[in-house]
Chains A and B, each alone.
Chain A
Amino acid sequence: MTTTVGIKTPEGIVLATDRRATMGYYVADKDVVKIEPLDDHSAITIAGSVSQAQSYAHMLRLNLEYIRNRRGWPLAPRELAKLAAHSIQRSGGIYGQFILATRDAKGTHLWDVGGDGSLIAKRDFTVTGSGTGPAVGVLESTDWDQVKTIQDAEDVAGRAIRASTQRDVGSGNGLVVYTLPNEGPYTMKMYTFKQSVEEDETEVSAL
């Protein structure tokens, strides 16, 4: 379940997810945050089994801290990505899909980490989760020549998540947007989709 989107722009990376957690057909939570910052320079989106994904993100966070403290400098983006994929592969797989955003002095890097331990470096964008269909429709129809800034990417990511919440039962309730610019602090914003009840004045007639 879930929809997660990652977009890479010349200015940095945008990650976005919906806010719904499900247990079968039951909406277990409407305010979930499915983006886990790992440190000041990386974050991962989680989709799939919440337990496994949370514990996995926690493991990555602790490894970043441990290695930085032990050797004296942080994991490079490629090292973190390899570790992220390798630890899944060695564990026999996780019921989940992940998008990883990383940063070093050269800029930002976007990675797709599969639940089987696969690792793919992404040049432009990626989508995971049950709402992939509607979201990727929005992304594929986007004129990417016009997406130059983080703000542009936030708008596209928001539309993609919004589309998935309209058509995927596993996605809904709101939007979380994380931005990782090439330089400077990351940001995380949360939005809730309001549900107002309005009378539908359409005439009802028998078929």
Chain B
Amino acid sequence: MKPTVDTAYLHFDETGNIPAIKYARITLGMGLPIIAARDDKKIVVATVNREGNPLYSGAEKIVRVSKDCVVLVTGHGGDTNQVRQMLRDMAVNHKFVLGSEVSPKEVSLSLSDYLHELGMNYRRPLGVGIIVAGFDQGGTTPAIYHCDVDGNAIDRNGIALGKETGAAEHELQKGFKEKTKLEDAVRAAAEAALRGMTEGSAEAEAKDFRIDVEILKPRNA
């Protein structure tokens, strides 16, 4: 059935890009930073959230999906809610059918399928940056996946999404190269992103934000 609205933005343009995907990436780039990195034993995740406003406690950026999997989301608020609910439904269904905790790998595959199907069904992509982190293979093996808005799932050792991604990933890379303690590298990345966000900004100061760092360890270690 032919859609009743103009869907040109959902097709490839003359530059080989899909405008809707391009715009979605802009949206998620406006979100507060989310960062994750792993070694062969653990995962460290960090988020930058709003602080200091008595009327607002910040959004839930780390979503616990199962005992083996958390998902970090940033970007369009309504879209992150959609992702959050979908993942929790998935975790419950998985547990009901197989009796086990859904793994990051399975979450990333399902999420990517969903994100890709949106574009194939004349629906706009979600403006959400998604990092899936946790432990594969029965809760034993650290894994981080980046689920891109175009429906791609990529295995990563470290990643930052949201505002000031460049500065954050630069710090992460530096940490990996210099073999800095993983927690310190991730915190440094979050601080670099926060600096980038607030430097020269008239309306935002560092004290308006807080950095949350969480260390994830395998359930069956």
Residues in chain A within 8 A of chain B (CB atoms): 70-73, 75-76, 78-79, 81-83, 86
Q: Which residues of A contact B96 (CB under 8 A)?
A: 86
> Contacts A71-B105, A72-B105 known; A79 to B136 CB distance under 8 Å?
no
Q: Are A71 and B109 in contact (CB under 8 A)?
A: yes
Q: Which residues of A contact B100 (CB under 8 A)?
A: 76, 78-79, 82
Q: Is the interface of B mostly helix, strand, loop or mixed?
A: helix
Q: Bound complex: CA of A132 vs CA of B97, how far in Å?
A: 30
**Interface core residue of B97, B106, B136 (most chain A CB under 10 Å):** B97
Q: Which residues of A contact B99 (CB under 8 A)?
A: 78-79, 81-82
B157 to chain A, nearest CB (A): 17
CB closest residue in chain B, given A105: B138
Q: Which residues of A contact B137 (CB under 8 A)?
A: 72-73
Q: How many inter-chain residue pairs (CB < 8 Å) link A and B? A: 31
B165 contacts A by Cβ under 8 Å: no
Q: Are B97 and A71 in contact (CB under 8 A)?
A: no
Q: Which residues of B contact A78 (CB under 8 A)?
A: 99-100
Number of interface residues of B (CB under 8 A): 12
B98 contacts A by Cβ under 8 Å: yes
CB closest residue in chain B, given A79: B98
Q: Bound complex: CA of A201 vs CA of B100, how far in Å?
A: 64
Q: Bound complex: CA of A11 vs CA of B9, how far in Å?
A: 63
Q: Are B109 and A70 in contact (CB under 8 A)?
A: yes
- Select A86's contact among B97, B103, B105, B109, beta carbons within 8 Å: B97
B101 to chain A, nearest CB (A): 10
Q: Are A82 and B136 in contact (CB under 8 A)?
A: no
Q: Are B109 and A75 in contact (CB under 8 A)?
A: no
B141 to chain A, nearest CB (A): 9
- A-B pairs, top 6 by smallest CB distance, nearest first, are A82-B99, A79-B98, A73-B137, A71-B105, A79-B100, A86-B97
Q: Bound complex: CA of A89 vs CA of B37, how far in Å?
A: 41
Q: Are B138 and A72 in contact (CB under 8 A)?
A: no
Q: Are A76 and B138 in contact (CB under 8 A)?
A: yes
Q: Bound complex: CA of A76 vs CA of B103, how far in Å?
A: 13
**Interface core residue of B96, B99, B103 (most chain A CB under 10 Å):** B99
Q: Bound complex: CA of A4 vs CA of B176, how far in Å?
A: 57
A59 to chain B, nearest CB (A): 13
Q: Which residues of A contact B97 (CB under 8 A)?
A: 82-83, 86
Mark each residue of chain B from 84 to 104: 1 if its CB lies under 8 Å from any CB of chain A, else 0.
Answer: 000000000000111110010
CB closest residue in chain B, given A75: B98
A39 to chain B, nearest CB (A): 16
